[in-house]
Amino acid sequence: MAGRDDGEPIDDSFDDEELERALEGFEREFQENRDGTAQDGHGDGNDPEHDLQQDLSEFEHGLTFDEELEGLLGDKAKLAMLCTRLQDADLLAAFCALADISAQCVQANEGAVAVLRGLDGNAPESAAQDLTKVVAGLSALLVVNRADKIEATVYMGGQAGEQLPPPFVFPTLAPFVEDMMLGISTMDGLRDSGADIVDTNSIDHDGALSIIARHTRFDGPKGHVE
């Protein structure tokens, strides 16, 4: 037993009982607060557990989160572009429309570029194959960012050709290609800067043929459209 300054002993069992009573009081208070919170939740129509599950569900199924995760895993490309030597964005958009490729085509002195919407799986590669198959004689450089790895592949006649180091090809392309691939620029930024952008979704089949006819002036297209 421990002693006090006046020499009288301290009753250790009394201290233990006090501690037990304090713990019991704390447990009762905790349980009462918990029950009160649950009742408040039911009273105002808010179930904390339900709200948590709903928040987690919305987070897990959020479009931005899903896209970011797929981009990191490489299941979905973060960005994909078809770079051509065509001088007009509307002509590239017309070709893309005929090939059933959804894209936003950007005018550039170095050659029009199609920023692809289809990024799942091998959709970018399929788009490159379809475009260069539908438009005979047209070659395109597919630049893709998957899981922060950028690849550049030449396509012609529906076939994939040589893979080129991106640092070597970027200087030959419109500056925004590299900027967007590196995350420095976005489509919204291009649009705000006044870039000439043609959406393939705004062109139907007849409209595509009309655009192609206007550019070829009936003198014979450089490439045959199948």
Position 66 in a domain: no
Helix axes 12-43, 48-60, angle to 10 degrees: 60
Mean pLDDT of 63-85: 74
193 and 85 fall within a common domain: yes
Position 31 in a domain: yes
* Distance from C-alpha of 65 to C-alpha of 133, rounded to nearest angstrom: 35
For residue 224, pLDDT beyond 60:
no
Q: Which residue has the higher pLDDT, 214 or 70?
A: 214
* Distance from C-alpha of 78 to C-alpha of 149, rounded to nearest angstrom: 10
Would you state the structure tokens that stand for residue 214, as one six-digit string? 């206007």
For residue 30, pLDDT beyond 80:
no
55 and 151 fall within a common domain: no
* CB of 112 closer than 8 Å to CB of 89: yes
* Distance from C-alpha of 8 to C-alpha of 17, rounded to nearest angstrom: 19
Give the least confident one: 2-16, 22-36, 45-59, 103-117.
2-16
106 and 196 fall within a common domain: yes
Give the least confident one: 17-31, 138-152, 172-186.
17-31
Q: Is 126 exposed, middle or buried (0-12, 13-18, 19+ CB in 10 A)?
A: middle
Mean pLDDT of 200-220: 86
- Band of pLDDT at residue 75, cut at 50, 70 and 90: confident
Note the pLDDT of residue 216. 82
Position 42 in a domain: yes
Range of the domain at 49: 11-61
Q: Which residue has the higher pLDDT, 164 or 33?
A: 164
Mean pLDDT of 51-56: 57
For residue 34, pLDDT beyond 70:
no
Position 1 in a domain: no
- The fraction of the chain above a pLDDT of 90, given in percent, is 62
Residue 183 amino acid letter: G
Domain count across the chain: 2
Position 102 in a domain: yes
Note the pLDDT of residue 147. 92
Give the least confident one: 36-40, 78-82, 129-133, 185-189.
36-40
Considering Cα of 205, then 225, then 151, then 110, what sign does the dihedral take?
Answer: negative
The pTM of this model reads 0.66
Considering Cα of 146, then 149, then 154, then 160, what sign does the dihedral take?
Answer: negative
Position 2 in a domain: no
